[in-house]
Amino acid sequence: MKKILTLIVVTSLSLPLLQGCATAVVGGAAAGASVIHDRRSAGTVLDDQTITVKIMNELLNNRELREHSSMSATSYNQVVLLTGQAENAGYRTEFERIARNTPMVKRTVNEVQISPSATLVERSKDSWITSKAKIELFNVKLPRFDPTRVKVITEKGVVYLMGMVTAEEAEAVVEKIRYLDGVTKVVKVFEYI
């Protein structure tokens, strides 16, 4: 774990020196760090990063969607979770269409809310909840459980959990996270092994 943290810190400190290459360096470091303990293959980790980038690029290139929503996509084992807020159901549906038509996507889970975009205060709270949840995962006491195998995404107090886990691991993770301050709901987007 110390090696991973060291790699992340060194990479983060190097970014200002690399300017245009920052995306490639961060993506490569993240892929390298996650493959060490991941249940996905290195190729699948890279595919997930590619899927996420393609979907988010489509969103950014679509002025109408960009101006009337605050949405995000996260791919894990080629399952795409869509989160955030859209002004109406049409924008939500269009974003799902983009994700569903992206190469390599097996399935989409559309959790985009029809509501105003999250405020800066709400986003800050969500970041805090995500940080607390990731730390709390280290308190799951199961044989061979690795907290880095669980991806945590928070939107307006709702915590979404992704990863390839056993049923026992999923239950233990949810029990650790559901009682954290600020969590209004936990949604499992796990794949069970």
Residue 14 pLDDT greater than 90, yes or no: no
Residue ending a domain, among 87, 115, 143, is 115
Residues 110 and 51 in one domain: yes
Residue ending a domain, among 63, 96, 115, is 115
Residue 169 pLDDT greater than 50, yes or no: yes
> Which pLDDT band, with edges at 50, 70 and 90, does 29 fall under?
low
> Which pLDDT band, with edges at 50, 70 and 90, does 32 fall under?
low
Residues 47 and 111 in one domain: yes
Residues 106 and 154 in one domain: no
Residues 132 and 92 in one domain: no
Residues 157 and 90 in one domain: no
In a domain, 79, yes or no: yes
Q: What pLDDT sits at residue 24?
A: 44
Residues 110 and 129 in one domain: no
Q: What is the pLDDT of residues 88-123, one digit of tens each?
A: 999 999 999 999 999 999 999 999 999 999 999 999
Q: What is the mean pLDDT of residues 134-140?
A: 97
In a domain, 9, yes or no: no
Do 154 and 133 touch, CB atoms closer than 8 A? Answer: yes
- Domain with 83, as residue range(s), is 40-115
Matching residue, tokens 């943290």: 5
Residues 107 and 150 in one domain: no
In a domain, 168, yes or no: yes
Residues 133 and 182 in one domain: yes
Residues 131 and 180 in one domain: yes
Q: What pLDDT sits at residue 4?
A: 52
In a domain, 8, yes or no: no
Q: pTM of the full predicted structure?
A: 0.81
Residue ending a domain, among 115, 138, 156, is 115
Considering the chain, what percentage of its residues have pLDDT values greater than 90? 81
CATH number for the domain harbouring residue 94:
3.30.1340
In a domain, 12, yes or no: no
Residue 28 pLDDT greater than 60, yes or no: no
CATH number for the domain harbouring residue 145:
3.30.300.130
Residue 16 pLDDT greater than 60, yes or no: no
Residue 21 pLDDT greater than 70, yes or no: no
What b-and-e string marks burial along 91-122, b requiring 16 or more CB atoms within 10 Å of the CB? bbebbbebbeebeebeebbebbbeeebbeeeb
Residues 125 and 174 in one domain: yes
Structural domains counted in the chain = 2
